[in-house]
Chain A
Amino acid sequence: MGTVFPLRLPSSTAMATIEPVSTPEVTDGTLIERVASGDRGAFEELYGRFARPVLGLALRRIGDRGRAEDTVQEVFAAVWRSAGSYNRGRGPGGAWLYTIARNTIVDALRRRPAPTVANPPEVVSPGLTPDEEAEASWNAWRVHRALDTLPEHERTAIDLAYFSGLSQSEIAEFLQVPLGTVKTRTRSGLARMADALEGEL
């Protein structure tokens, strides 16, 4: 095994700095309802859950990193303003927030001119039809949200396997755990992802 890996270490530690105000079983919808009543703590919890999916969606649609980051703030300002319109009878909170994010991103694209040829977007998904792109964006949103529901040890195994290019053996060596443990964690993480995706969060 080489000594240098294309490592992209798990970043969930950064998210952990946001102090949770609720137990993990509190749904996204419940948090949105609390935001509607002005609950700042609920807003921070919601931000912790969705900031990266929102940035991911903005990057897919806008391309330019700086503009996408600016749009993240606009999306969450819209969440503050619009939380009162959420109705849990019409769907889960994650889907509502996706709609808010998508509309805010579209508005941002309309307000600000597209990048010039000299500064092209970093875009993503060339060759997809609009429908395919919409489906891919929605799936990526769900996957990124589901990743944040994994326990830390499973998240690490998934990140290293899928996003850092390490084999199961290399992960075992990197984490200093038996190969069987890595396989168990990776499989368990996949199963939990499947549960989350099937449950539509």
Chain B
Amino acid sequence: MSDHTPPFDEIVEHTDPERDRLQGAHLLLTAAGAPPELPPWLESAPPEPRSRVIALGRRRSTVVATAAVAATMLFGIGYAIGARDRPAPPVQTVAMQGGGATASIDVFSHDAAGNWPMTLRVSGLASLPRGQTYALWLTAHGKLAEPCGTFTVASGTTEVPLSAPYPLKEYDGWVIVRSGTTGPFLLRTGTV
């Protein structure tokens, strides 16, 4: 509590019809104390982080699906051309399972900026109503920690290229949820 609590009766008359409501605000204000002053270096908003995954909005789900298809086609074309440009093998493959659906995430070596390219392959997930998406999250201590992107699914297996700019060893799991919710559809079951 503040040492300088002003007498409430000095501010609000006994006959004030809103006295009880105002007293609630008075008590909260007194308990909260003064907000801290920002130091000069925090007076301006910080710059955008250099590496950032934008969890795409729902309206972009079509774009995500198109990008996934395009990426798959490009991969196929590249593979057909020859083995010379074959990508390096993943450094880690994460297996996920839940509710009859399965998924795997191939995590490739991070680039110089710390981005980890990934390929998510998922099958068995139900298609969502138009405009809704699934989201892949990193978890820490049983909670959603960082988003790694959103996607939609079609029948069969859906393959989605993603990237995460986070130090992965700081997280302890992966989940797939319906965007905007926290209930997991798929959980990590193991790492290869």
Contact = CB atoms under 8 A, between A and B. Distances in A.
B28 A143 contact: yes
Contacts of A56: 35-36
Interface in A1-30: 6, 8, 11, 14-15, 17-18
A37 B57 contact: yes
A98 interface: no
- Interface residues of B: mostly helix, strand, loop or mixed? loop
Contacts of A194: 18, 21-22, 24-25
Interface residues of A, number: 65
Given A52-B38, A144-B32, A87 B11 contact: no
By CB atoms of chain B within 10 A, which of A47, A84, A183 has the most?
Answer: A84
A137 B31 CA distance: 10
A2 to B, nearest CB: 14
A103 interface: yes
Given A38-B54, A51-B38, A73 B143 contact: no
Contacts of A11: 35, 37-38
Given A55-B36, A186-B11, A84 B57 contact: yes
A191 B22 contact: yes
A92 to B, nearest CB: 14
A43 B45 contact: yes
Contacts of B56: 84
Contact of A90 (B12, B35, B55, B180): B180
Interface string A154-175: 0000110111111110000000
Contacts of A168: 6, 10-11
A33 to B, nearest CB: 8
A85 B16 CA distance: 44
Contacts of A198: 21
A162 B147 contact: no
A171 B86 CA distance: 74
Nearest to B6: A161
Contacts of B140: 107
A8 B45 contact: no
A139 B32 contact: yes
Nearest to A77: B49
Contacts of B31: 136, 139-140, 143
Given A11-B38, A69-B41, 18 more contacts: A43-B48, A47-B45, A48-B45, A56-B36, A73-B42, A81-B146, A83-B55, A84-B55, A85-B180, A87-B181, A111-B170, A139-B32, A140-B33, A143-B28, A144-B32, A163-B2, A190-B26, A190-B29
Interface of B: 2-6, 10-12, 16, 18, 21-22, 24-26, 28-39, 41-46, 48-49, 52-57, 135, 140, 143-147, 150, 165, 170, 179-181
Q: Which 4 A-B pairs have the closest CB atoms?
A: A84-B55, A87-B180, A165-B4, A47-B45
